[in-house]
């Protein structure tokens, strides 16, 4: 039977494929594909982990005191029985052999299948045995961790789709943390569905940047969908169709082909210079997360990297942060690949919804922070960790000898912090000179993400060479909205008059003071804002590589001088979006999307 699940549309397009559920186990589970030659070894690893748990439980059973309650021994017997049940052991083996899942993923997938069967049982006692099953699976997953294995940080090449069979795959989960999104972005998934999240949650932003259809806030999706169900993700309407009929399936496959044709047309603009109708050249830069993204920048026709989010180098590392040499190699790889094109490296922006793996002691410190979006994050965190910050600054400075590097600092708001920043940079330079290691004096920029920074821009620009407007956080902090909080995410509004006025004022003031200004947040890659930003005088946009061609297409059809005349009218309106919409039908400098 076909079922429709409704959520929030956050990334356009259509994805069709087999559902892969990420289990909500209390134990972290790695998800990666196993090389064909390693299948037997992975099956043996699963068996060894099971045998290890059997030994542990048998030993526990032997140590039970004679006066212990009989139910304790009975419980251990139940766990031992579950470990050797074919519905768990043999079926898990099939996930490894047929789908090339690693043992942990296979085990958690089979847990989802069996847990559904327990939920449907009428007998309350039998339903309650699901908890025993979960405990057994978690024991085996923990044992697998002790035995070791591959890491998702080193997944098979992108092209090896045959690992999962011929069918495309879509990911279904309760939620996907930013660190997990970093893993999954390099996998074979063609779409995402989550139970929770808002239009501007990190999951939504990453899905858009990957140009992958996604629906978030779909509530019970991960409970309704079962492993291997065929599902359709309609990223335009925010609908997930489970087990669609043949007619519906064919209709959506037709829509997929139309999207692919449009992408092919956009690809032809790749090497066309981005110039407005009134002759203004526009700089289209790309946002990246990892060194491996450098080739995508060149393939998209971007003219440089406007934002290298260095914090992703620090994530998924079990608390072990990258040192100076590792960072230097990562930054240098991008700079060399760009071959003279500018690379803007943002210092680590940890905090809020992007957390590092932490030790229990560090977690205790974090738990006291009731609102991480307003806590120790970005430049605040870097200044509180001078050794780590010094390593990063030295690595960035050393990479500058290989090309044009610019250093960008997130969440600037206080002149006191700016002075400490400058001191840290000078200290890093002195340390490199003492080592006789080469570096180049790089341009230093401030991210304008806090209203205070926008309002005190003239004072800030005494210390900085350029500014980059991070619209995602600027909107969040201007409107006092936690964009990761579903309860208020509907109030997150990039069209709010206060937001538009701050952006317009920042662009105008930076240009008046002779400083370069760009926008690197979500608005830069959203065609709905292209004319508006051009009218404000913006000449540098930075976005995910997949968004470059669609924004370029828009730019080629815009007369920015005409839109400039209407900026005050739009920004001063009670409802700027309505005013903007009316002008789009009347302004001659707009020739449709």
| Positions at the binding site for phosphoenolpyruvate | 309, 346, 472-473, 483
* Dist. CA 218–CA 223, nearest whole Å: 10
b/e sequence 192-202, b meaning 16+ C-beta within 10 Å: bbbbbbbbbbb
Strand partners, 23: none
DSSP 593: -
Check: CB of residue 7 under 8 Å from CB of residue 191.
no
What are the residue numbers of the active site?
A: 202, 520
* Tokens standing for residue 290: 């990892």
* Tokens standing for residue 132: 């025993």
Q: Quickly count: other Cβ atoms within 10 Å of residue 409's Cβ.
A: 22
Beta-strand relationship, 169-173 and 466-469: unpaired
Beta-carbon contacts of residue 345 (< 8 Å; ≥ 6 apart)? 308, 310, 331, 396, 399, 405, 406, 407, 408
b/e sequence 20-31, b meaning 16+ C-beta within 10 Å: bbbbbbebebbb
Give binding residues as ranges: 309, 346, 449, 472-473, 483
* Dist. CA 53–CA 79, nearest whole Å: 10
Beta-carbon contacts of residue 519 (< 8 Å; ≥ 6 apart)? 468, 469, 471, 503, 533, 538, 540, 541, 542
Strand partners, 242: 3, 231
Give binding residues for Mg(2+) as ranges: 449, 473
* Dist. CA 11–CA 194, nearest whole Å: 13
Beta-carbon contacts of residue 574 (< 8 Å; ≥ 6 apart)? 497
Q: Quickly count: other Cβ atoms within 10 Å of residue 428's Cβ.
A: 22
Strand partners, 214: 11, 192
* Phi/psi at 343 (5° precision): -130, 115
Residue with tokens 């251990």: 76
Beta-carbon contacts of residue 530 (< 8 Å; ≥ 6 apart)? 551, 554, 555, 558
Sign of the dihedral defined by the CA atoms of residues 71, 77, 80, 86, in that order: negative
The CA–CA distances, whole Å, from 128 to 82, 122, 132 equal: 14, 11, 8
* Dist. CA 424–CA 429, nearest whole Å: 9
Check: CB of residue 324 under 8 Å from CB of residue 394.
yes
Angle at CA of residue 587, ends 258 and 494, nearest 5°:
70
* Dist. CA 58–CA 324, nearest whole Å: 48
* Dist. CA 23–CA 227, nearest whole Å: 10
Residue 110: half-sphere exposure toward Cβ, Cα within 13 Å: 27
DSSP 286-315: EEESSGGGHHHHHHTT-SSEEEEEGGGGSS
């Amino acid at each position: 039977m076909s079922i429709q699940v409704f959520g929030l549309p956050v990334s356009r397009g259509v994805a069709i494929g087999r559902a892969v559920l990420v289990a909500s186990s209390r134990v972290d589970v790695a998800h990666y594909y196993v090389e064909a030659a390693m299948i037997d070894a992975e099956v043996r690893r699963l068996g060894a982990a099971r045998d290890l748990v059997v030994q542990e439980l048998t030993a526990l059973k032997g140590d039970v005191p004679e006066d212990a309650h009989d139910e304790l021994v009975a419980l251990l017997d139940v766990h031992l029985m579950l470990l050797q049940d074919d519905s768990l052991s043999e079926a898990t083996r099939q996930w490894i052999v047929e789908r090339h899942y690693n043992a942990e993923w296979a085990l958690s997938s089979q847990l989802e299948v069996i847990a559904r069967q327990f939920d449907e049982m009428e007998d309350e006692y039998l339903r309650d045995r699901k908890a025993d099953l979960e405990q057994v699976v978690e024991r085996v997953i923990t044992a697998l961790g002790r035995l070791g294995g591959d890491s998702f940080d080193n997944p098979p090449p992108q092209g090896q789709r045959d690992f999962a069979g011929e069918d495309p795959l879509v990911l279904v989960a309760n939620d996907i943390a930013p660190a997990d999104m970093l893993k999954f972005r390099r996998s074979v998934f063609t779409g995402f569905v989550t139970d929770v999240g808002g239009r501007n949650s990190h999951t939504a932003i990453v899905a858009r940047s990957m140009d992958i259809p996604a629906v978030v806030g779909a509530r019970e999706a991960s409970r309704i969908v079962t492993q291997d169900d065929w599902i359709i993700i309609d990223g335009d309407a925010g609908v997930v169709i489970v087990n669609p009929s043949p007619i519906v399936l064919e209709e959506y496959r037709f829509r997929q082909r139309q999207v692919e044709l449009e992408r092919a047309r956009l690809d032809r603009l790749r090497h066309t210079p981005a110039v407005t109708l009134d002759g203004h050249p526009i700089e289209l830069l790309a946002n990246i997360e990892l060194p491996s993204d450098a080739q995508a920048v060149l393939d998209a026709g971007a003219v440089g990297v406007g934002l290298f989010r260095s914090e992703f180098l620090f994530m998924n590392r079990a608390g072990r942060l990258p040192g100076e040499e590792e960072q230097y190699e990562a930054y240098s790889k991008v700079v060399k690949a760009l071959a003279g094109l500018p690379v803007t490296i943002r210092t680590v922006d940890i905090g809020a919804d992007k957390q590092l793996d932490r030790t229990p002691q560090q977690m205790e410190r974090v738990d006291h922070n009731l609102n991480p979006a307003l806590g120790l994050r970005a430049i605040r965190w870097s200044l509180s960790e001078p050794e780590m910050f010094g390593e990063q600054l030295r690595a960035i400075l050393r990479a500058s000898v290989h090309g044009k590097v610019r250093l960008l600092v997130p969440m600037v708001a206080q002149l006191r912090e700016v002075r400490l920043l400058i001191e840290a940079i000078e200290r890093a330079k002195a340390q490199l000179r003492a080592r006789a290691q080469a570096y180049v004096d790089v341009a230093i920029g401030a991210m304008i993400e806090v209203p205070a920074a926008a309002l005190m821009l003239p004072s800030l620009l005494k210390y900085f060479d350029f500014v980059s407007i991070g619209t995602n956080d600027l909107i969040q902090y201007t409107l006092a909205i936690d964009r990761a909080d579903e309860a208020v995410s509907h109030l997150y509004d990039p069209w709010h008059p206060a937001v538009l006025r701050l952006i317009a004022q920042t662009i105008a003031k930076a240009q008046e003071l002779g400083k370069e200004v760009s926008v690197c947040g979500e608005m830069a890659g959203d065609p709905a804002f292209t004319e508006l930003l051009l009218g404000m005088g913006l000449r540098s946009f930075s976005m995910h590589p997949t968004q470059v061609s669609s924004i370029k297409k828009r730019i080629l059809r815009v007369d920015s001088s005409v839109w400039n005349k209407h900026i005050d009218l739009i920004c001063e309106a009670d409802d700027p979006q309505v005013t903007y919409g009316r002008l789009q039908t009347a302004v001659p400098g707009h020739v449709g999307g």
